[in-house]
Amino acid sequence: MTTFEAPSIAWAALLPTLLIAGAAVVGVLVEAFVPRGPRRPVQLILGLAAVAAALVAVVWRWTEVVAGGPQHAVGSAVVEDTPGLAAQAILALFGFVGLLVIADRTESGEGAFVAQAAARPGSAEEADSTRAGMAQTEVFPLTLFALTGMFVFAQANDLLTVFIALEVLSLPLYVLSGLARRRRLLSQEASLKYFLLGAFASAFMIFGIALLYGYSGSITFAGLSEAVPATVGMDGLLLAGSVMVITGLLFKIGAVPFHAWTPDVYTGAPTPVTGFMAAATKLAAFAVLLRFVYVALPDMSWDLTPFFWVVIVLTMVLGTVVGIVQSDVKRMLAYSSVAHAGFVLIGVLALEQSAIPGVLFYLLAYGLATVGAFALVTLVRERDPEGNVTGEANHLSQWAGLGRRSPVVAVAMTVFLLSFAGIPLTAGFIGKFAVFAAGIEGGHTVLVVLAVLASAATAFFYVRLVVLMFFTEPDGDTVAVVRSEGLTTVAVAVCAVGTLLLGVLPGPLLGLAGQAATFLP
């Protein structure tokens, strides 16, 4: 008869995650007991305070880990080390600016989310709830629950914890993707596609976990790493299980051929959710993929290299080529996200310690530009023949002449686009340099050359939008830049300043990131 041994828990190490999770639970109670009027400001203050407190707690835990060393937080399932804390700090930043954009409303009081999600699109009930000024404030606890899963993802050290965290972060995002105020059917379609393909990817992962447990007799990364050189005659089981688990993570990253959900979900989801999801989910998935490959499978590098090569080349090529022909801003940014996933995967494949801080810096730079770009998309709206401002102006041609209508918006968008392209003096350039340098150090020079060529090609569709904004005459007065309550302005300012500051003075942050170069087994 086996006896259950309770794991030792370092509660202080779990404080950042507990703050986010606790605020999410309190947010559910707010939905139940706080009157409709003050509910939205209460949820917003609660969410921002929780994320800010979590960031402060991460900084405190960083100083403790640097001084006293990493530790296991919940048995061997969750670890507290500098790479995990660095990922959590960046996630907290993305959560803060993401919540600002999610909460913002236009000058007419219109938010990005449907007034009542249960109402049938186009029905009288939907119109009545919109006129009554109802708000779907459940988006705040849902965002915090997703962020909770991402925080656990960053520190997960066994396969079961990875799977549970994956579901915790995914389920709220499936719901949030279907809550767009306009183009409701497209939003619901995006939510359904995301859910179905997400379930398919989860099945891959859980089957891979079963194979790896059968191979090693352990679900911990350290146990799997010890079994790789010691177990003889079952290499096929190890390789199949590893590829299946990695496939589940590549789905979240949006790498080819597991990217099919990306353009549709990015287009159909409420734009603030798209920005948050594109930045934070990619970071969380890369954090756990790095830990899995570097801790559990370092001895499998020879076997997994061909698989990663195929995925990286396909991801860079397809993201670049298909992105060039897009005429919708959100779909263009979606395929840009696919291409960037290919660039960052070079750091995963490098298997060099210098790649870990390089990947984290790249994802910080990419996330700031992504949240900022999608935040600006929420402000550029169509204008009907009667002069009424309606939905977002997503067609590229509608952005023509934006530099004259709203120079500040156009300049901010240009900063983000230049960072995506990797132009010097932006954070994107430093991120690409760090990852590509690690790729060369790891012996993948040919892959880095292909990445540089793909990066140069992606610059075409970024520069095309810049040319439209500043050097093309607008086609009539059919587009307007709306004013908001100011929350989006704050988020865009933070992202733009961060993008430029990290491009001009990256040294201090790179020095800190250099301390996040070793995973605790």
CA dist., res. 461 & res. 473, Å (int): 18
Is position 2 within any domain? no
Residue 286 forms part of a structural domain: yes
Is residue 358 assigned to a domain? yes
Rounded CA-CA distance 150/274 in Å is 16
Non-local (6+) Cβ contacts of 513 within 8 A are 86, 357, 358, 360, 361
SS3 309: helix
Instruction: Give a yes or no: residue 519 inside a domain.
Output: no
* 3, part of any domain: no
Overall number of domains in the chain: 1
The answer as to whether 372 is a domain residue is: yes
End-to-end CA distance of the chain: 30
Nearest CA among 116, 161, 162 for reference residue 139: 116
Residue 255 inside a domain? The answer is yes
Strands (E), 336-457: 380-383, 389-392
pLDDT in tens, the chain (521 residues): 556 677 788 889 999 999 999 999 999 999 989 888 888 999 999 999 999 999 999 999 999 999 888 888 888 889 999 999 999 999 999 999 999 999 998 877 777 788 777 777 777 777 767 676 677 889 999 999 999 999 999 999 999 999 999 999 999 999 999 888 888 888 899 999 999 999 999 999 999 999 999 888 888 888 888 887 766 567 788 889 999 999 999 999 999 888 889 999 999 999 999 999 999 999 999 999 999 999 888 777 778 889 999 999 999 999 999 999 998 999 999 999 999 999 999 999 988 888 899 999 999 999 999 999 999 999 988 877 776 777 788 888 888 888 888 899 999 999 999 999 999 999 999 999 999 999 999 889 999 999 999 999 988 889 999 999 998 887 767 788 888 888 999 999 999 999 999 999 998 888 888 888 888 77
* Spatial CA neighbour of 205 closest among 142, 148, 248, 253: 248
Would 422 be classed as within a structural domain? yes
| Helices 407-421, 487-504: crossing angle, 10 deg rounding | 40
Boundaries of domain holding 295: 11-513
